[in-house]
Structure 1
Amino acid sequence: MALSLNNLKPAPGSTHKKKRVGRGPGSGLGKTAGRGHKGQKSRSGYSSRAGFEGGQMPLQRRLPKRGFTNKFKKQWIEISLAKIDANFNAGDEITPEILHERGLIKKAKHDLVILGNGDVTKSLKVSAHRFTKTAKEKIEKAGGSISEIAKAVAADA
């Protein structure tokens, strides 16, 4: 039999009948419809607040506050030389934008640092905000060049 729109059906066992609740004692889920007896949770329109523990002091309030988060923390996107070497050809120019286009790093909103993990087998022109010492040595040893991108500093008014 040829496959066409009029004879499509799901694989056996992949679909189930919808559970019909509150349809009398014969259904097995009549009367309270699986909600137990009385109480706030049995009513229609009930919705619980996240972290609500029935009036008991919630866990997020029982635990002490510790430390703080520095919102000015410097964040880096890290990529290894092994990844760069595997995804680029000799003589290619590598910038954060190109790495993002190829899907090797997420959006280039943080500064990029090149790590010295792995080996470089071809000469590459790499531009990044920072390089580790071993990454610099390996790129230059393979005949490549590096250029550090200077991040523009906003002038204080």
Structure 2
Amino acid sequence: MKLHTLKPAAGSTKNSKRIGRGQGTGRGGTSTRGHKGAKSRSGYSSKAGFEGGQMPLQRRVPKFGFRNPNRVEYKPVNLYQIQELADNKKLDAIDLQVLIDNGFAQKNDLIKILGKGELKSKLAVTAHKFSASAKEAIEKAGGSVTTL
């Protein structure tokens, strides 16, 4: 077997319809485009969302809402998650790299520590932002808070 002898299996390919090649072919005349109208003309291309002059869906449905382009998104990490992390990994300091390594955030995420749960360990916690309750709980447990 050689590359130039390869052929598709018998019956697996069909010849394309040759339209507009005379009346004798059965596909001459209008060349399967029907009579008149924009779709029968050459150069026709439909615009996305065009509904033949009817008011299109994207204009019928009202607009609503607002997305602030300057919004800063923080990944939330709660105190109970930090406590679990400290217990499992035997840590005395929680910083950005520890949280990234344990799947709490990606490397470009901003992290905010929230106050849900209880903190028993004395930890030095470093993050981009802290809620007031989280800050209070960490300092009450004897730990320290560092804001990046």
* Same fold by TM-score greater than 0.5: yes
Hey, what does 1:92 align to over in structure 2?
A: 92
CA distance in 2, matches of 1:82, 1:147: 18
User: In structure 2, what is the Cα distance between the partners aligned to 1:75 and 1:108?
Assistant: 14
Check conservation: 1:91, 1:125, Cα contact below 8 A: no
Task: Give the gaps of 5 or more residues in structure 1.
Answer: 1-38, 40-48, 150-157
1:73 is aligned to 71
Aligned to 1:60: 58
Unaligned runs of 5+ in 2: 1-32, 34-46
Tell me the distance in 1 between the aligned counterparts of 2:128 and 2:69: 20
Larger radius of gyration: 2
Alignment of 1:31-50 (within 5 A): none
Task: Give the C-alpha shift of residue 104 in structure 1.
Answer: 2.0
Q: What are the superposed Cα offsets for residues 1-33 of structure 1, whole Å, 9 maximum, x if unpaired?
A: xxxxxxxxxxxxxxxxxxxxxxxxxxxxxxxxx
1:119 aligned residue: 118
Distance 2:121 2:56 in 1: 58
Residue 66 of structure 1 deviates from its aligned partner by 2.5
Tell me how many residue pairs correspond in the alignment. 102
| In 2, Cα distance between equivalents of 1:119 and 1:132 | 14
**One-letter code of the match for 1:99?**
L
TM-score calculated relative to the size of structure 2: 0.57
Deviations 1:16-57 (A, max 9, x none): xxxxxxxxxxxxxxxxxxxxxxx9xxxxxxxxx98x586454
Amino acid corresponding to residue 138 of structure 2 in structure 1:
I
Contact 2:85 2:91 (8 Å CA) reproduced: no
Higher helix fraction (1 or 2): 2
Q: Distance in 1 between matches of 2:56 and 2:100?
A: 43
Match of 2:9 in 1: none
In the alignment, which residue of structure 2 is the partner of 1:132?
131
**Structure 1 residues 53, 87: closer, same or farther in 2, change over 3 A?**
farther
Cα 1:54–1:148 change in 2 (3 A) is same
State the SS of the aligned residue for 1:88.
Answer: helix
Contact 1:79 1:115 in 2 (8 A): yes
